[in-house]
A and B are shown apart, each in its own frame.
Chain A
Amino acid sequence: MALLSIEDLAISFETDEGVVDVIDGVSIELEEGETLGLVGESGCGKSVTALAVMGLLPKPAGRITGGAIRFQDEDLTRLTSEELSRVRGDQIAMIFQEPMTALNPVHRVGKQLAESYRLHHPDASKNEIREESLRLMDHVGIPAAERRLDEYPHQLSGGMRQRIMIAMALSSRPRILIADEPTTALDVTIQAQILELLRDLQSEYGMSIIFITHDLGVIAELASRVVVMYAGRVAEEASVESLFKSPRHPYTKGLLASIPRLESESKSVLPTIPGVVPSIDELPVGCRFSNRCEFAQDQCTHAKPELEQASDGRKIACLRWRELEQDVAVSA
């Protein structure tokens, strides 16, 4: 059984134009010890899905309207916020995109680190907490930890701040770590360091990671399985190798085609997916990708494509994926 399973999750947001179904029937399973990549353009619902798992949807605008999030025999969507507080930060931890704003600017780093440890170890002594904080900081690769404890977030570099966030998340040895674009705001070299750190920590702690990003390069490096989301629905799910080798959903194809490649002719035009992700109050009926899809037909604008299981274990939500597959086979 999966460690965490999101089943047919639906989330609606109240906007000025009325209630909008931002997440529409998303199902994702996370296995013990695996790294799951969650990919998609900005605004596709990756972060909202993750926040829903944590019970952190913006209130009162966002609301879970259907489905379940099962974790250890419990449906997280049915817990009170008090019950959820026992899971949050303890069993499931999360790190965010902007380590600068995610840390409180007026509290010392040591205090914020100690706080997350104390929340789940209420009986810990001061010394114990300090020891543990230093150990954690050392563990996530922060040099001169003793001195850093007394510094404020603005005195640290972006990479160091993200390491502090990771240290806070690890303080209770969570089963699941949700990383919401943790490297997007960092320099490329620092990105690589943080990814390396996450990989090491994962094998050491044996935790599962949900890694949210729009950077397919990062996914290739870190994840074992990928869920591609588009406009609040899952478009495709596959192992990293098979997804990169043979993307099936037209959206995934477009995403992969728009990665610049060394072997392509220099100065040639980089392929892009025409148009932009529709805003949440203008979602197309039927397949939500239909207005940007080069393969879209009449049926795509009426019928909602269900997530179908292919024979090789991959899942695709496209009305025409079988046809398109054959076309490729024929033309090849």
Chain B
Amino acid sequence: MTSYFVRRFLLILPTFIGVTILVFTLTRLVPGGPIERMLNEAALAGAEGGAAVSSGFDGRGGSVLSDEQIEQLKRYYGFDKPVVLSYFDWLGKVATLDLGTSTRYTEPVWETIKSRLPISIFYGVATLILTYGVCIPLGIVKAIKHKTAFDNVSSALVFFGYAIPSYVVGIACLTLFAANLEWFPLSGFVSDDFDDLSTFGKALDILDHAALPLIAYLAGSFAVTTMLMKNSLMDNLAADYVRTAIAKGMAFRKAVFAHACRNSLIPLATSFGNTITLVITGSFLIEKIFNIDGFGLLGFESLVERDYPVVMGILVISSLLFLIGNILSDICVAFVDPRVKFGSGGSNQ
């Protein structure tokens, strides 16, 4: 099994290179980019400046910058070299943990990303805990009370939440609870006077701000996990070994927890490792609605602004986390299910 995981880890490298090459090439092929943005900005500044228009205008396609300046900029951003060469330049820097400099914020990409991490991790962890904390017990109760009123009503609620896009839930909550009823703040991660609050006040303030976005995030996320848990437990409740446990003299309720539950968690474990990617999850729509400076919004804006170093930086982090998450999922499955043996070394049948 060890050799299997070593192989899986070694495979990360080629996969990572494949993913980044693809996106890196794309950033070169699509129109727009930092130079065009600068030209536009300069042109705008020139238009406002009035007199500057004629002095900066050199009669060649309306550009405000000289060829020499543009060449300089291209060199600065590494656009003067062929794609392959500049890709390897970039990769070499990444290897030394240097993600480059944001063209929009003119600060190191890592700094830009780092400043968003606490917010994204907060929402990621909160969503994770609430999802599993609600879905697993709910799924268990629904399986035991299959086809009762409780089961039917909770199914209806869960699917209702699943059917509505999360941004609609977000907007609806914002309009109702924040704008009309004024129970919750309209936007942001913390209040303006956050630094002056006591520790308890700070926690309360964060929760106050997080309540509505969390509802938006969670509304649709209950259905899949709850139904997966319920169906998987129902399968296991009908399994022979649960009957054996009861035949041994065990009470049904105890048999559910002692025997059926662990087996029912196996399907959930197949995706559990990917929760490591939660730090970079975050829907830009919800972040936009609630004006939260998280990862989703950063990724979206840097794409729109053609801030390629940030785009690539986010890609590096997300693809690595995703690749590692897949391996973690495998480890989780092997952990909960003793029958799982990866590779050729472990067959005992």
Contacts and interface: CB of A to CB of B under 8 A. Distances in A.
Interface of A: 54, 56, 58, 81-82, 85-90, 93-94, 96, 98, 101-107, 115-116, 119-120, 152, 154-155, 165, 168, 172
B248 A104 contact: no
Interface stretch (B14-22, B201-209, B223-231, B332-340): B332-340
Chain B facing A: main interface SS: helix
Contacts of B250: 85, 89, 115, 119
Contacts of B263: 104-106
Interface in B102-146: none
A104 B247 CA distance: 13
A154 B349 contact: yes
B244 A103 contact: yes
B251 A105 contact: no
Contact of B241 (A56, A58, A94, A103): A103
Given A105-B338, A106-B262, A107-B259, A89 B248 contact: yes
A56 B247 contact: yes
A167 B258 CA distance: 20
A105 B241 contact: yes
Nearest to A94: B247
Give the 3 A-B residue pairs with the shortest CB-CB distance, closest first.
A89-B249, A89-B248, A101-B240
A179 to B, nearest CB: 12
A107 B251 CA distance: 18
Interface of B: 238-241, 243-252, 258-259, 262-263, 266, 336-339, 348-349
A102 B249 CA distance: 15
Nearest to A178: B247
A247 to B, nearest CB: 33
Contacts of A119: 248-250
A154 B339 contact: yes
Contact of B246 (A56, A103, A105, A155): A56
Contacts of B348: 154-155
A81 B249 contact: no
7 contacts: A56-B243, A58-B238, A85-B246, A88-B246, A93-B248, A104-B241, A105-B339
Nearest to B249: A89
Contact of A115 (B248, B251, B266): B248
Contacts of B238: 58
Contacts, number: 79
Nearest to A168: B248
Contacts of B241: 101-105
A104 B349 contact: no
A85 B239 CA distance: 19
A54 B238 CA distance: 16
A300 to B, nearest CB: 37
Given A90-B249, A96-B240, A96-B244, 17 more contacts: A56-B246, A86-B249, A88-B246, A88-B249, A98-B240, A101-B239, A101-B241, A102-B240, A103-B241, A105-B263, A106-B262, A106-B336, A107-B259, A152-B338, A154-B338, A154-B339, A155-B349
A86 B251 CA distance: 10
B324 to A, nearest CB: 26
A215 B262 CA distance: 37
A116 B240 CA distance: 16
A107 B338 CA distance: 8
A115 B241 CA distance: 13
Contact of B244 (A58, A90, A102): A102
Contacts of B244: 96, 102-104, 165, 168
Contact of B337 (A54, A81, A85, A106): A106
B251 A89 contact: no
A175 B226 CA distance: 43
Contact of B251 (A82, A152, A165, A168): A82
B247 A54 contact: yes
B259 A116 contact: no
Contacts of A168: 244, 248
A120 B250 CA distance: 9
A85 B262 contact: no
Nearest to A115: B248
Contacts of A103: 241, 244
A271 B110 CA distance: 83
Contacts of B338: 105-106, 152, 154
Which residue among B246, B250, B339 has the maximum number of chain A CB atoms within 10 Å of its CB?
B246
Contacts of A155: 348-349
A71 to B, nearest CB: 15
B243 A104 contact: no
A85 B243 contact: no
A116 B239 contact: no
A96 B244 CA distance: 8
A174 B339 CA distance: 32
Contacts of B252: 81
Contacts of A85: 246, 249-251
Contacts of B249: 85-90, 116, 119-120, 172
A119 B251 CA distance: 10
B97 to A, nearest CB: 41
Which residue among A54, A104, A165, A168 has the maximum number of chain B CB atoms within 10 Å of its CB?
A104
A115 B338 CA distance: 19
Nearest to B349: A154
A134 B262 CA distance: 26
A47 to B, nearest CB: 11
Nearest to B237: A59
